[in-house]
Each structure stands twice: as C-alpha cells, then as structure tokens.
C-alpha cells in the first residue's frame, strides 16, 4: 500500500523524503550511481587508512554509496579536504561528485545542486568527460526538486547529449531515466515513456544487469502512471528474475510490491495477496524493516477488501505502525493510523477508531499537507457519525471540506506553474530554432556578397543588412501568427485539438477516404457522471480527470489518429484506415485505461468510467454531419445500456 498522498504508485524501498517526488525512491536514486566513481583507480572497497590518497578515498566512498550514503558522504568529505590541501583539483571534483550523488540519494537537493556547481567549476580540459555528465545529472536532480524545471531540463538534456557523444550506453540510460522522470512530473507521459523505452534499450547495450533491471522497474512505473497495467506488469516481471539473479533482495521486494498493488487495484485479491507475501518474504530475508512493514500493510488492505476486518488484519496494521514509528516515517505512520481507524470502525468499535484517527490527524498536521489533513478529518467525520455524535461529525466534515479546498487551490497553482514551464520551454525551443535559421540565412548572404568582389560591395552590404532586418521582422510576425493560430485550435486545459480543429480534420479525412478508399471510424466518448465529480470533489479534481484522460488518449492512439475535446466532458476520436472491429478494440483499451484513473480525495476504489458511441463509414457513404449524428445515437445507447461500455451505431 502506498502513502496516502503519494502521486506515484511505487512502493519506496526506504522512507520517502518529503521533497523527493521528482526522482522517485531511494532505490531509484541509488541506481543513478556513477560506475566511473566505483571504478576509480580500480581501488575497490579498500580499508580506510591514513596513507590513502584522495583518489583512493573517493573510490572507497563510491563503493559505499549503494550501502550507506551517509557514510559515503563522510568519507568523500574527508577526501575532498585532503585533495584541497594537496591542490589536486581533479580529485576534489571526483569527491564532489560522490558528495552530490549521496545528497541525491538522501534527498538533500540544495546540497546536491551546490556541490555539483562546485565540481563543474573545478573540471579542466584534461578531466574525464564522464565526470561532467555525472555532475550535470546530480545538478539536474537538485534543480528539478527545487522547482526550477526549465534549468533542470537544460542540464539533463546536456547530460543526455554528452552521453551520446561519449557513446556510453550506461550514462545514456541514466540520463534518459532522469529526463523521463522529469517529463512524467510535468505531465508529459507520452514523452516520458519514450525516454523510458530508449533508456531500457541503452541499459541492455551497456551489459549492466542491475542498471537494466532498475530501468525496467522505472519504465513499469511510467506505464502504471498512465493506466497501462499490462505493460507495467510485463516490465516488472522482466525485472524480477534479474534482481533475484544479482541478489538485489530489496529491489526485488519493491517490484513484487508494485505487482501486488496493481493486482489490488484491479480487484484480483488472490494475486495481490500472493505478491504481497512474496514481497514480505524477500524483505524479511533482506532484513528490510521498512519493506516488511509495507508488505504487511498491503496484506492488511487485502483482508479489508475481502470484508474480513478481523484481528489478523488489525495485528498486521499495529506491527506496521510500530515499525514506522521506530523508523521515524511520519507519512507511513499516518497511513497505518488511518487504516487502523477504518478497520476499527468497520468492526463496530468507534472509540479505538477515533483514538487512531486523532493520532492520524496529528501526524498529518506534522506533514503539513492539506490532502492528508482532509483525509483524516473525513475519516473522523464518518467515525463520529457511526457513533451518532452528530455535532463532532459535522465539525470534522467542515474541516475536511476546508482543507480539501486548500489542497485543490494548491494543486491548481502547481498545475498552472507546470503548464507555464512547459509553455516557456516550448517557446524557447522555437525561438532557438528560428535564431539558428536566421543565422544560416545571414551566413549564406555574407558568402554571396564576398564572392561578388565588385565595386558595389558597400551598396550590396547595405542591401543585405536591410534584407536581414526585414527577414527577421517577417519571421517574428509569422511565428506570432502561427502561435496564435495554434492556440485558437487547441483546448487550453487538455492540450488536445478543440471542436473547431476536430471538425476541420473530419472533413479532411472524409475527403481523403473518398479519394483514396479505405474505412474511417469516428467515436464520441463521454466521461460518466462527470457532473457528480465536479459537484462532489470540486472542479480542480474534474480538471485533473480531463487532463488524465487526454494523456491516456495520447498514449493509446496512433500518431495518425486524432483525439479532440468535443466539449465539456465529451471527446471525439477519429481513426484513419480503421474498420469497426479494430476501432472497437481501440475504444475498449481507452475504456479499460479510464478505470485506472483515480480521483484525488475520493475512496481509492472509486473509478472513473467512460461511455463511447462508435460509427464507421466506407467510401462514398455519410458526410460529416451524418457520421456525427450516428455516433451521438450510439453514445446515447451506451449511456442507456448502463454506461462504461462501447456501442456501435447500426448499419
């Protein structure tokens, strides 16, 4: 079971730092460890001794990174001081790289950024270029978590380009993983998955089994985030035997937990229980207290879903609570307390439930996150109501609503910031492309002028200057017109084409189908009971559902297909060269993926569903209006048939 407010479904191997969302779990961060550092001077894990050189101390620290980042940081700090005393700039840069990497593993993002900057400043022309790539990756991680996304993207892109130039597949895999996580955080799921797939290919070329398994586990998480459960399970199942072969028990247990969580989300309780037990055994074998507690929490959740709120589940939860308290994991302590409260309420024991939920509210206040506070208040309201203490139930309900509104406002600000960053990045990229083209035009003009070597050189130079100024003005004007035209044809919230753009595309596709032959399928999809989501959970949650569904469409559909926002909660899908049976298969994948979308602040089992009306045409049949009418009729039949289904128009 994941933390209540976590945006990622992955169980973390160690207790999560509050600001580690950009780079995932400590297991994922430790997988970024540079092989360069571990191989320095082929020193291996040497014993600490006063006569070790700074480079040997760095190698000793690098060997400890994956086992004890804090100890590695202490050794690297001592190596840095010795290197500074000896004025060995290269050794000091290597020590700073180990320090930055340990800071990333420990979630110390500001320190990672500062040390990466220091290390990059020390590098000279003769230093290993791999070290610069490692430092840029650590710098990108620090920038991302501090909210400086544009700079983080630039650093990670530069590290990616450097890895390609060095033809180093291991470095390339790590750089692409960092970029995939950043893109996922900014909501660009399709591009994140593409980077994840390329990272998987690069890791396979590197021959590093551990890296390949970690990349596969990350790719599975990316698929899971967009509701592609089957693809996620395939990645996890490929990673598990590799972790077993290399003896990575903690990582193996973490992936088994991910598999269990997907099965639990699909309601496959037997499979979920089996995977949770596997994770439990692996965590016990590895001596991982946190992993044991996560697995016990998952097993208790399975028992509760089976309708068995008995003593066994409660015993598991209390063991989890004790472990999280001992480890100082406030977030998971909160999760365990909420689960205990729910279980006690379902057993008809409101007083122990209230005691547990009051402690959960206190833990949520320490975390300072509005979502957790709202959840605790909501559970308290339900428990007070079960005990017929209506005044306390009402007050708790009002508190939950107030904190939920604050959380929604915070989420709106975060989304606005991320959309602004994405727009600024896109605009900067276009500006750079135009500058490059303008520079190429200027160079061609200059070469032509020099070739003439005539008495009219001065006049031609003046003409060239005037032409360059006019060209620049025209290009700027064309760019602005193009940007305005794009914005007029794009839905502001989802980034999909709007109704106007969809109608134009439909007319084009009908014309092409009549000219060249072949089938064309059109579907109108409507999110079921969407008004209840808006009214019950707020428009911010409704907007998040629309954005998530738009991302699902981008993932499922081909590049040549079209998904557009038709209006409100309705979407239009246009499938080229696709007959009705194939089109139905595509819509079924969209329908199944929609059920994996979760509503923030709602019960974890609550699912979003979609109904779809499908129609297809052959050459010379219906026009655009006829197709749309038939799709509307089919959509009405899907709604009347019970929703969450795909209906095709007759004929």
CB 318 within 8 A of CB 339: no
Torsion region of 267: left, alpha or beta (phi above 0 gives left; psi -120 to 50 gives alpha): left
Pairing label, strands 610-617, 562-567: unpaired
Residue 609: how many other CB atoms lie within 10 Å? 15
- State the DSSP string of 69-86: HHHHHHHHHHHHHHHHHH
Residue matched to tokens 């547990």:
356
pLDDT reported for residue 497: 95
Residue 126: how many other CB atoms lie within 10 Å? 6
Residue 266 lies in a domain: no
If residue 616 lies in a helix (H) or strand (E), which one and from where to where?
strand 610-617
CA 598 to each of CA 419, 475, 489: distance values in angstroms, whole numbers, following the listed order: 21, 45, 29
Residue matched to tokens 């004790």:
322
Residue 264 lies in a domain: no
Task: Tell me the backbone φ, ψ of residue 567, rounded to 5 degrees.
Answer: 150, 135
- Our count of domains for the chain comes to 2
CB 587 within 8 A of CB 525: yes
- Using CB atoms within 10 A of its CB, is residue 615 exposed (0-12), middle (13-18) or buried (19+)? buried
CB 505 within 8 A of CB 496: no
Q: In what order do the strands lie in the sheet with 610-617?
A: 562-567, 570-576, 520-527, 610-617, 646-648
* Three-state SS at 366: helix
Return the closest-CA partner of residue 257 out of 274, 276, 270: 276
Residue 531 lies in a domain: yes
Task: Tell me the backbone φ, ψ of residue 48, rounded to 5 degrees.
Answer: -65, 135
Q: What is the pTM of this model?
A: 0.53
Residues pairing with 497 in the sheet:
490
Contacts of 271 (CB under 8 A, 6+ apart): 260, 263
Q: How far apart, in whole angstroms, are the C-alpha atoms of residue 358 and residue 337?
A: 9
- State the DSSP string of 255-293: HHHHHHHHHHHTT-HHHHHHHHHHHHHHHHHHT-HHHHH
The two tokens of residue 325 are 């308290």
Residues pairing with 525 in the sheet:
571, 612
Return the closest-CA partner of residue 13 out of 214, 302, 172: 214
Q: How far apart, in whole angstroms, are the C-alpha atoms of residue 506 and residue 597?
A: 28
CB 510 within 8 A of CB 624: yes
- Using CB atoms within 10 A of its CB, is residue 525 exposed (0-12), middle (13-18) or buried (19+)? buried
Residues of the chain under the 70 pLDDT cut:
1-50, 66-67, 308-310, 411, 414, 417-418, 421-422, 425, 454-469, 471-475, 477, 480, 482-485, 601-605, 651
If residue 646 lies in a helix (H) or strand (E), which one and from where to where?
strand 646-648
Return the closest-CA partner of residue 623 out of 478, 522, 542: 522
Residue 431 lies in a domain: no
Q: How far apart, in whole angstroms, are the C-alpha atoms of residue 7 and residue 410?
A: 14
Last residue of a domain, one of 197, 215, 244: 244
Last residue of a domain, one of 182, 215, 244: 244
Residue 639 lies in a domain: yes
Q: How far apart, in whole angstroms, are the C-alpha atoms of residue 138 and residue 156?
A: 9
CA 473 to each of CA 15, 135, 428, 442, 463: distance values in angstroms, whole numbers, following the listed order: 55, 40, 18, 14, 15
Residue matched to tokens 């595309």:
505
pLDDT reported for residue 91: 86
The two tokens of residue 304 are 């509760």
Residue 208: give its domain's CATH number: 1.25.40.10
The two tokens of residue 498 are 């709007």
Return the closest-CA partner of residue 528 out of 479, 570, 586, 578: 570
Model confidence pLDDT, tens digit, residues 385-437: 888 889 888 888 898 888 888 878 876 776 776 677 667 767 777 777 787 78
Q: How far apart, in whole angstroms, are the C-alpha atoms of residue 58 and residue 181?
A: 28
pLDDT reported for residue 66: 61
CB 219 within 8 A of CB 236: no
- What distance, in Å, lies between the first and last C-alpha atoms of the chain? 48
- Using CB atoms within 10 A of its CB, is residue 345 exposed (0-12), middle (13-18) or buried (19+)? buried
CA 205 to each of CA 201, 436, 545: distance values in angstroms, whole numbers, following the listed order: 6, 34, 38
pLDDT reported for residue 20: 32
CB 304 within 8 A of CB 346: yes
**Rg of the Cα atoms in the chain:** 28
Residue 208 lies in a domain: yes
Residue 38 lies in a domain: no
Model confidence pLDDT, tens digit, residues 224-235: 888 888 998 899
The boundaries of the domain holding residue 584 are 499-648
The two tokens of residue 118 are 């220091």
Last residue of a domain, one of 222, 244, 266: 244
Task: Tell me how many degrees the CA angle 310-314-315 measures, rounded to the nearest 5.
Answer: 115
Helices (H) and strands (E) in the chain, counts: 26, 5
Q: How far apart, in whole angstroms, are the C-alpha atoms of residue 193 and residue 187?
A: 11
CB 69 within 8 A of CB 106: yes
Residue 294 lies in a domain: no
């Amino acid at each position: 079971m994941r933390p209540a407010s976590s945006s990622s479904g992955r169980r973390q191997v160690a207790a999560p730092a509050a600001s580690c969302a950009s780079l995932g779990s400590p297991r994922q961060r430790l997988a970024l460890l540079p092989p360069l550092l571990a191989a320095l001077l082929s020193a291996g894990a040497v014993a600490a001794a006063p006569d070790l050189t700074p480079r040997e101390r760095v190698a000793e620290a690098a060997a400890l990174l994956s086992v004890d980042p804090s100890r590695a940081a202490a050794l690297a700090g001592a190596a840095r001081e010795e290197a500074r005393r000896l004025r060995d700039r290269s050794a000091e840069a290597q020590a700073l790289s180990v320090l930055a990497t340990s800071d990333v593993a420990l979630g110390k993002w500001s320190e990672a950024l500062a040390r990466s900057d220091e290390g990059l400043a020390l590098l000279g022309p003769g230093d290993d270029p791999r070290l610069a790539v490692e430092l840029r990756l650590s710098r990108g991680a620090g920038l991302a978590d501090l909210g400086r996304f544009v700079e983080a993207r630039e650093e990670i892109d530069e590290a990616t380009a450097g890895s390609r130039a060095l033809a180093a597949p291991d470095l390339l895999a790590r750089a692409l993983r960092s970029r995939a996580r950043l893109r996922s955080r900014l909501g660009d799921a399709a591009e994140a998955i593409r980077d994840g797939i390329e990272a998987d290919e690069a890791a396979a070329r590197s021959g590093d089994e551990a890296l390949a398994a970690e990349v596969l586990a990350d790719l599975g998480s990316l698929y899971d985030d967009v509701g592609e459960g089957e693809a996620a399970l395939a990645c996890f199942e490929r990673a598990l035997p590799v972790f077993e072969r290399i003896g990575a028990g903690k990582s193996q247990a973490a992936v088994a937990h991910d598999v269990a969580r997907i099965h639990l989300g699909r309601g496959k309780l037997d499979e979920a229980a089996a995977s949770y037990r596997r994770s439990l055994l692996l965590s016990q074998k590895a001596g991982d207290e946190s992993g044991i507690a996560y697995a016990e929490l998952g097993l208790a959740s399975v028992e509760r879903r089976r309708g068995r709120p008995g003593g066994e589940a409660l015993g598991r939860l209390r063991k989890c609570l004790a472990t999280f308290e001992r480890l100082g994991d406030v977030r998971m302590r909160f999760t365990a307390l909420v689960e205990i409260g729910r279980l006690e309420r379902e057993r008809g024991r409101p007083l122990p439930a209230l005691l547990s939920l009051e402690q959960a509210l206190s833990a949520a206040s320490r975390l300072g996150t509005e979502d957790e506070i709202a959840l605790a208040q909501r559970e308290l309201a339900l428990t007070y109501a079960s005990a017929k203490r209506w005044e306390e139930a009402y007050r708790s309900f009002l508190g939950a609503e107030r904190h939920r509104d604050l959380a929604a406002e915070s989420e709106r600000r975060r989304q606005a910031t991320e959309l602004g960053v994405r727009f600024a990045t896109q605009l900067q990229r276009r500006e750079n492309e135009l500058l490059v083209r303008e520079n190429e035009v200027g160079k061609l003009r200059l070469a032509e002028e020099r070739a003439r070597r005539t008495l009219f050189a001065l006049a031609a130079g003046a003409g060239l200057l005037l032409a360059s100024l006019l060209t620049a003005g025209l290009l700027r004007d064309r760019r602005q017109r193009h940007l305005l035209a794009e914005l007029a044809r794009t839905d502001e919230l989802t980034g999909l084409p709007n109704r106007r753009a969809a109608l134009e595309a439909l007319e084009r596709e009908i014309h092409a189908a009549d000219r060249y032959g072949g089938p064309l399928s059109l579907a109108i999809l409507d999110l079921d009971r969407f008004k209840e989501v808006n009214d019950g959970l707020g428009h911010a949650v409704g907007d998040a559902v629309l954005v998530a569904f738009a991302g699902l469409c981008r993932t499922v559909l081909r590049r040549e297909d079209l998904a557009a926002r038709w209006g409100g909660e309705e979407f239009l899908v246009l499938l080229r060269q696709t007959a009705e049976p194939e089109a139905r298969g595509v819509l079924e994948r969209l329908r199944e993926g929609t059920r994996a979308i979760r509503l923030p602040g709602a019960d974890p089992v609550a699912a979003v569903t979609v109904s779809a009306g499908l129609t297809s045409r052959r050459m010379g049949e219906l026009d655009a209006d006829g197709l749309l009418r038939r799709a509307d009729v089919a959509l009405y039949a899907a709604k009347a048939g019970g929703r969450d289904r795909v209906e095709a128009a007759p004929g």
